[in-house]
Amino acid sequence: MMHNYEFKSDSKTTSAVSLPTAETSLSPRALYQDVAERLREQIFNRELEPGSWIDEQKLTAEFGISRTPLREALKVLAVEGLVTMKVRRGAYVTEMSTQDVKQVYHIMALLEADAAAEVATHASEVQLAQLRALHNQLEREVQQREFFFATNEAFHAQIQLLAGNRWRMQIVNDLRKVMKLNRHHSLFKQGRIDESLAEHRALMAAIERRDPEAARCLMHAHFENGLAAAAD
């Protein structure tokens, strides 16, 4: 049975999440996955800042768990690149260097461009309509940044889904998590949301007219422009 608990740290109370009443009420695997998801949220929300040391004692008390599931969760996040394990020093939230950001954008550009070309070639009309619906939602949300971010991510995820390569999708999903560690999100730059939306329009048009090479080039340029904005 699952119960909601409020996790407390010093005098502050964070949002409640669902964890089991005892470590034996779920399998060890399920428990550490719950803990990993909570830690991801804290990292993405900047409750745990890039470069910061992860205080295991504080977190075990906050979550009401032992160190075993916490350390298993940290291993999961280390594989994803969100956490860096340092010998005799513990775990730290990964901090992205300028070179890290460039390398991630480079790989993402290649993988996402390849997926866009495949969607332009193979997607059904129904699938293209689903992608168009997400693009239209982006058009409506251009002045609502908090919603635009989520829909933008959903649009790119839908391209990966329609392209149908689960290995590429897994790599892209992990890289997108790492991208969230970058302190300078490309869409934060003034005017970048409008530029990004214009790039999406051109990309959507290329996909709908079944032009894989144009879709590939436009998606690649989309990420190059995102990198330029993130680097400013």
User: Does residue 125 share a domain with residue 73?
Assistant: no
> pLDDT > 70: what percent of the chain?
84
Quote the CA–CA distance of 2 and 12 in Å, as a whole number: 23
CATH code where residue 32 lies = 1.10.10.10
Average pLDDT of every residue of the chain: 86
80-95: string of b/e by CB count within 10 Å (b at 16+)?
A: bbbbbeeeeeebbbbe
What is the structure's pLDDT at 54?
96
In this predicted model, what pLDDT tens digit does every residue of 91-144 receive, in sequence order? Answer: 999 999 999 999 999 999 999 999 999 999 999 999 999 999 999 999 999 888
Contact, 55 vs 63, CB < 8 A?
no
- CATH number for position 210: 1.20.120.530
**Residue from 191, 197, 188 nearest 140 by CA:** 197
**Per residue in 5-26, pLDDT tens?**
333 334 343 333 445 444 444 4
One domain, residues 6 and 83: yes
Rounded to an integer, the average pLDDT of 31-39 is 93
- Check whether residue 9 and residue 71 sit in a common domain: yes
Last residue of a domain, one of 74, 93, 112: 93
Gap between the Cα atoms of 82 and 126, Å rounded: 36
What confidence tens digit (pLDDT) does each residue in 183-212 have? 666 766 778 889 999 999 999 999 999 999
Q: Total domain count for the chain? A: 2
Q: Which residues contact 204 (CB under 8 A, 6 or more apart)?
A: 131, 132, 135
**Spatial separation of the C-alpha atoms in residues 70 and 73, rounded to whole Å:** 5
Q: Do 45 and 180 contact (CB within 8 A), yes or no?
A: no
Same domain, yes or no, for 142 and 227? yes
Which of 93, 109, 134 terminates a domain? The answer is 93
Q: Structural domain of residue 160, as residue ranges?
A: 98-231
